[in-house]
Structure 1
Amino acid sequence: MDSVTQNTLYVMTQGAYLHRDHLTVKVEIEKETRLSVPIHHLESVCIFGNIMVSPGVMRLCAEHGAAFTFMSETGRLIARVDAPQSGNVLLRREQFRKADKPEESLKIARWIIAGKLQNARGVLMRTARQIENQDDISALDKAAERIAYIIHSLERAASVDEARGYEGEGAKIYFGVFNNLMKQQREDFKITDRNRRPPLDPANALLSFSYALLLHDCVAALTAAGLDPNVGFLHSDRPGRPSLALDLMEEFRPMVADRHVLTLINRKEVDKGGFTKRDGGAVEMSDAARKAVVSGYQQRKQEEVEHPLLEQKMTVGMLPFAQARLLARYIRGDIQEYPPCVLK
């Protein structure tokens, strides 16, 4: 099902055609209009796979500042088309200056990693409180303690590379007990490690696709805040790589994408029948499984939480935008530290 959420239009039906009708974006499937969205309701459009797009609708989106993102069917970012960037060029110049200073990059990288690991620890502790299996509780509690030690040790990192080492160690511990977070379908979705490009099991396929959706939102949030999503601090520069968006999404991986994937598995909204193993070991999702992921992701984004620093109620989908603005404030020098979003 193609739909709009948080002002983003997601189109996944292969062979669909997007075209312009005055100030409206229309989605046609087999020459029948399935969806019409006024352009003033949209901030971005995200299409997956073989979707046809008219020049008229591209121009309409550009004229109204709605970004267009092209994804592969599996969720790999292919291209993003933005209108000319607005915002203060002085902010972006300061972003570039800080990214060129190893001590500044290290400082921001530490905050980003600490936020990610605190949220990962929160996911483990939350599940441990909700389940009854003592073996699972013990495994999750021990992993949470080990991650807490890594968070405490992070200040000892003398370089960004060392900080990445702590992040990698924490991620290994976290995914080492990821199976213990599954209350249903554990045998069908168990993982041995985190793998990607390509994912080698159904759970990793779900994670990779969910991270692609999250990355799209982080690029949009940073662009809206006037920052360059391609120049990061934790992730190194690479042609075509949205490094700052990858930085921003780190703190949201556990609490948004991972929890979303676990919900899909535990509620049996996906099952092993939605995945196919190809020659070479790569696992691909069916159209139905992809649509379940996007639908569940939309629902997760609409949940309301209280931002821990701002003490304001907002939807999960707005958290990356709030954090991008806080990061911009730090880079401008308005605040002394960047506070990652750590939900209770």
Structure 2
Amino acid sequence: MSLYQIQNTLYVMTPQAYAHLDNGTVRIEVERETKLRVPLHHVGGLVCFGNVLVSPALMHQMADEGRALVLLDRFGRFKARLEGPVSGNILLRRAQHRAADDAALTLSLASALLLGKLRNSRTLLLRGAREAAHEADAAVLKRTADNLGAAVRSLAKAADLDTLRGIEGEAARGYFSAVNHIVKPKLREHFQLDGRTRRPPRDRFNALLSFLYSMLMNDCRSAVEAVGLDAQLGFLHAVRPGRAALALDLQEEFRSVLADRLALTLINRGQLTRKDFEERDGGAVLLNDQGRRTVVTAWQERKQEELQHPLLDTNVPIGVLPLLQARILARMLRGDIPTYSAYLAR
């Protein structure tokens, strides 16, 4: 029996859908026809895309039970997050704020987070090299993986956050230039990643990554808040009003593990094609309705899969990894353990 129960995030994507509370159950209606009924205690959060209606009763009940309601536009861009009173241990938050004021500790934490990101990115590239059909692709992936290994070694020598961010930025540019070599050659015509573009994404691969990163970000924010940490106060990402810097910090070590790997799987298996995307004025490329449904379904299925956590030495669902890492971070900030260890994929 699993030690972890994943409370699935409920994604509502149909325009004009109506989500409301019915005797402890979330009921989703479209044109007054019931499409889905889910017990509220099975719902970890509700994410609504575009023009979706939510009843006040459901909002109040979710706030009372500490379940977040997240509003995204129809393309998956974040709009707002509604939640009840902030929970958490004030002593833990005080420890977090003290750590953020300690330059040496902040540097150490930021370095640990980036170590996780770079090593996991390197693991993805090496796996791609082993499975590559052409030696030229394998050579590019191996060479970039070696560069990421050198970047990991450079982290320990960084004297300040700006240096760390510079190392990460250079490594990311190399990584995104190489990832396209994992895409099957026959599919690269339609999924050519020409560097990382965000606002807006300029190609189908970037559009897919942006959508996955948005869902990952939501999960990471829920994780840090669930353990009582202040999502606004990060160590690697600069603090700005309205920015969940700590959630962005935690997201870094999971980008390649959860989002990039899933993106490549969806592309290489043909689960997404060019028909799942649309081009808009100005050159923006975005997933269309069918594409978003395919990605959300795959995302939920991926979170149910289990793998072995290297620190806990036990199998856990992928969906709880951000929560487990948030707990490790909280333990470090409380002084229960000396350092933070990022999740490292195998």
> Partner of 1:202 in structure 2?
204
Q: Distance in 2 between matches of 1:46 and 1:101?
A: 36
Give the one of 187, 190, 195 matched to 1:188. Answer: 190
Q: Which amino acid aligns with 2:74?
A: E
Is 1:221 aligned to 2:218, yes or no? no
> Partner of 1:73 in structure 2?
74
Q: Distance in 1 between matches of 2:129 and 2:188?
A: 16
1:155-211 CA-partner distances (Å, limit 9, x unpaired): 111111110111111111110111101025111011111000110111000000000
Task: Assess if the C-alpha contact under 8 Å between 1:23 and 1:60 holds in 2.
Answer: no
> Structure 2: 5+ residue runs without aligned partners?
1-5
Q: Distance in 2 between matches of 1:303 and 1:43?
A: 17
Q: Which runs of 4+ in 1 moved over 6 A?
A: none
Task: Assess if the C-alpha contact under 8 Å between 2:21 and 2:57 holds in 1.
Answer: yes
1:240-295 CA-partner distances (Å, limit 9, x unpaired): 11100000010000010000100110011111122222121111211000111111
Q: Distance in 2 between matches of 1:72 and 1:81?
A: 15
Is 1:238 aligned to 2:240, yes or no? yes
Q: Distance in 1 between matches of 2:236 and 2:343?
A: 17
Q: Distance in 1 between matches of 2:281 and 2:35?
A: 36
Task: Assess if the C-alpha contact under 8 Å between 2:75 and 2:288 holds in 1.
Answer: no
Task: Assess if the C-alpha contact under 8 Å between 2:47 and 2:69 holds in 1.
Answer: yes
Give the 3-state SS of the residue equivalent to 2:57 in structure 1: helix
> Partner of 2:87 in structure 1?
86
1:100-126 CA-partner distances (Å, limit 9, x unpaired): 222221111100001000000000011
For 1:331-342, list aligned pairs within 5 A. 331-342=333-344
Q: Distance in 1 between matches of 2:98 and 2:78?
A: 27
Task: Assess if the C-alpha contact under 8 Å between 1:39 and 1:60 holds in 2.
Answer: no
Q: Distance in 1 between matches of 2:169 and 2:214?
A: 20
Q: Which amino acid aligns with 1:218?
A: C
**Which deviates more, 317-326 or 274-283?**
274-283
For 1:121-136, list aligned pairs within 5 A. 121-136=122-137
Give the 3-state SS of the residue equivalent to 1:187 in structure 2: coil
Task: Assess if the C-alpha contact under 8 Å between 1:233 and 1:244 holds in 2.
Answer: yes
Q: Which amino acid aligns with 1:117?
A: L
1:27 to partner: Cα distance: 0.6
Please report the TM-score for the alignment, with normalisation by the length of structure 1. 0.97
Task: Assess if the C-alpha contact under 8 Å between 1:39 and 1:64 holds in 2.
Answer: no
For 1:155-194, list aligned pairs within 5 A. 155-183=156-184, 185-194=187-196
Q: Distance in 2 between matches of 1:6 and 1:260?
A: 21
> Partner of 2:99 in structure 1?
98
Is 1:270 aligned to 2:272, yes or no? yes
Q: Distance in 1 between matches of 2:296 and 2:162?
A: 34
Is 1:343 aligned to 2:317, yes or no? no
Task: Assess if the C-alpha contact under 8 Å between 1:12 and 1:49 holds in 2.
Answer: yes
> Structure 1: 5+ residue runs without aligned partners?
none
Q: Which amino acid aligns with 1:60?
A: Q
1:220-241 CA-partner distances (Å, limit 9, x unpaired): 1111111011110001111211
Q: Distance in 2 between matches of 1:79 and 1:230?
A: 15
Give the 3-state SS of the residue equivalent to 2:36 in structure 1: strand
Task: Assess if the C-alpha contact under 8 Å between 2:232 and 2:244 holds in 1.
Answer: yes
Is 1:43 aligned to 2:47, yes or no? no
Give the 3-state SS of the residue equivalent to 1:177 in structure 2: helix
Q: Which amino acid aligns with 1:120?
A: S
Q: Which amino acid aligns with 1:179?
A: N
Task: Assess if the C-alpha contact under 8 Å between 1:251 and 1:340 holds in 2.
Answer: yes
Quote the sequence identity (%): 48
1:86 to partner: Cα distance: 2.5
Aligned pair count? 340
Q: Distance in 1 between matches of 2:83 and 2:280?
A: 35
1:78-108 CA-partner distances (Å, limit 9, x unpaired): 1111222322111011111211222221111
For 1:262-341, list aligned pairs within 5 A. 262-341=264-343
Q: Distance in 2 between matches of 1:99 and 1:80?
A: 25
Q: Distance in 2 between matches of 1:126 and 1:6?
A: 31
1:6 to partner: Cα distance: 4.0
> Partner of 2:3 in structure 1?
none
Task: Assess if the C-alpha contact under 8 Å between 1:175 and 1:193 holds in 2.
Answer: yes
